[in-house]
Amino acid sequence: MPVHQPAPPSSLARSGGAASPTIHAKTDSTVTRVINFSAGPAALPLPVLQRVREELLDWNSTGASVMEISHRSKKFIDLAEMSEADLRDLLSIPKEYAVLFLQGGAQTQFSMVPLNLLQQNAKADYIDSGYWSQLAIREAERYGRINIAASSKDEDYMTVPPQNCWQLDPEASYVHYTPNETITGVEFHWVPETKNVPLVADMSSTILSRPVDVAKFGLIYAGAQKNVGPSGITVVIVHRELFGQTAPSAPRLFSYEQQASAGSMMNTVPTFNWYVVSLVLQWLKQQGGVDGIAVINQRKAHKLYSCIDCSAGFYRNRVAVDCRSWMNVTFDLNDPRLEEMFIEQTEREGMIGLRGHRVAGGVRASLYNAVSEEGVDALVAFMQDFETRYG
Ligand SMILES: Cc1ncc(COP(=O)(O)O)c(C=O)c1O
């Protein structure tokens, strides 16, 4: 039986100045929703979806959908400015940083970062912590000399390389790392120290899950489809002092500096996606911002890891305890023949997205911001019951 999640009372009220409208989503007790543990595209907050449905035919009294109006119209520009202000507010982004909403997903940033930060014949340091950092390395190698300053390959990527073994080059243009490896569920619970070399982070699967000191980074990027909104939009937060080095051969649209001066609107923007992002940011503010959501996220992860650890080997998480991800909890079953049955039964119970990534196998529960604690409780209850029946 799919799990029935009644809609919460109207929410999404904007916390903001006097000009900020209070917005409400109608309640709807008839919709049957699954509990979505997908790694991305991932669950979106229900009040956001309700609000989207309500406004689909007439957005902001335009008599048209947000998909049908000009991105250069005053109403859309207001939305764009409001979402930037909300993101700045949520992450306390210092004014020296530009905030961009770009297209092309996180993997486009694998090229844009070196094209903008790696001057000709220059070099960069990369930390190899698994699948996504490796892809970033492979792409960057097309543009310059890439040094793998540390790797957790010898530990089968079940940990992160400790800072004291990093071989950093003080002459590097930047240091790139992946704070959360989405596939293995391995996370840095500390921010690396790179002295005067700018730190670049692929925060696709951790951004907005907790507070972060943006001032420690030269550049942060993230595909939206986990904690920020739907796929098709990418957030980039970049210190303006890194402008002015874009490779002359780089596509015009790939220049951070030009995108910043055009308000991320060098070409037609994904208006619908941006609109959903703006609603997600408002929703997050209602949850107490990143401080509020961090407490819930840590508790959700703790509940699931405790269930795994208490199963005496029936479920196994292989990640080093101090590197366990809050966002992506991976585990397998001691009898692999049970895995398929486990996935099938969760689906029958209305829980989706639990199959591990195709390169890793096993089970993965992604616990992004929009996954409720009740959803995690339901998964834990199912896992305990499954263990009683098959353990
Ligand atoms: C950490 C990380 N980086 C990069 C990507 C790739 O993102 P995209 O599909 O937006 O290019 C993902 C996708 O899941 C990811 O988790």
Q: Which of 204, 226, 228 to mutate to test the pocket of ligand 1 (most atoms within 8 A of CB)?
A: 204
pLDDT at residue 100, rounded to an integer: 98
Give the integer Cα–Cα distance in Å for 36 and 49.
14
| Rg from Cα positions in the chain | 21
Q: What is the Å distance from ligand 1's center to 106 Cα?
A: 5
Is 195 annotated as catalytic?
no
Q: What is the Å distance from ligand 1's center to 226 Cα?
A: 9
Residue nearest ligand 1's atom 16 by CA: 182
**Segment 139-146 mean pLDDT:** 96
Residues 6+ apart with CB under 8 A from 36: 42, 43, 352, 353, 370, 371, 375
> Which residue is catalytic, options 128, 202, 283, 332?
202
Is 216 annotated as catalytic?
no
Q: Is 256 in the pocket of ligand 1 (CB under 6 A)?
A: no
pLDDT at residue 12, rounded to an integer: 59
> Is it the case that residue 26 has pLDDT exceeding 50?
no
Write down the pTM of the prediction: 0.93
Q: What is the Å distance from ligand 1's center to 358 Cα?
A: 14
pLDDT digits (tens, 9 = 90+) for 200-216: 999 999 999 999 999 99
> Is it the case that residue 249 has pLDDT exceeding 70?
yes
Q: Is 182 in the pocket of ligand 1 (CB under 6 A)?
A: yes
**Segment 78-103 mean pLDDT:** 98
pLDDT digits (tens, 9 = 90+) for 367-377: 999 999 999 99
Q: Is 202 in the pocket of ligand 1 (CB under 6 A)?
A: yes
Q: Is 223 in the pocket of ligand 1 (CB under 6 A)?
A: yes
**Segment 279-288 mean pLDDT:** 98
> Which residue is catalytic, options 59, 226, 283, 285?
226
Q: Is 187 in the pocket of ligand 1 (CB under 6 A)?
A: no
DSSP 292-343: HHHHHHHHHHHHHHHHHHTTTTSEE--S-GGGB-SSEEEEEESSTHHHHHHH
Place of tokens 């990527």: 157
pLDDT at residue 119, rounded to an integer: 78
CA distances from 345 to 83, 349, 358 (A): 40, 6, 19
> Is it the case that residue 153 has pLDDT exceeding 60?
yes
**Segment 179-195 mean pLDDT:** 98
Indicate which atom in ligand 1 lies nearest the CA of residue 39: 14
Q: Domains of the chain (ranges plus CATH)?
A: 74-283 (3.40.640.10), 289-390 (3.90.1150.10)
Q: Is 119 in the pocket of ligand 1 (CB under 6 A)?
A: no
Is 226 annotated as catalytic?
yes
pLDDT at residue 103, rounded to an integer: 98
pLDDT digits (tens, 9 = 90+) for 32-63: 899 999 999 999 999 999 999 999 999 999 99
pLDDT at residue 240, rounded to an integer: 98
pLDDT digits (tens, 9 = 90+) for 299-349: 999 999 999 999 989 999 999 999 999 999 999 999 999 999 999 999 999
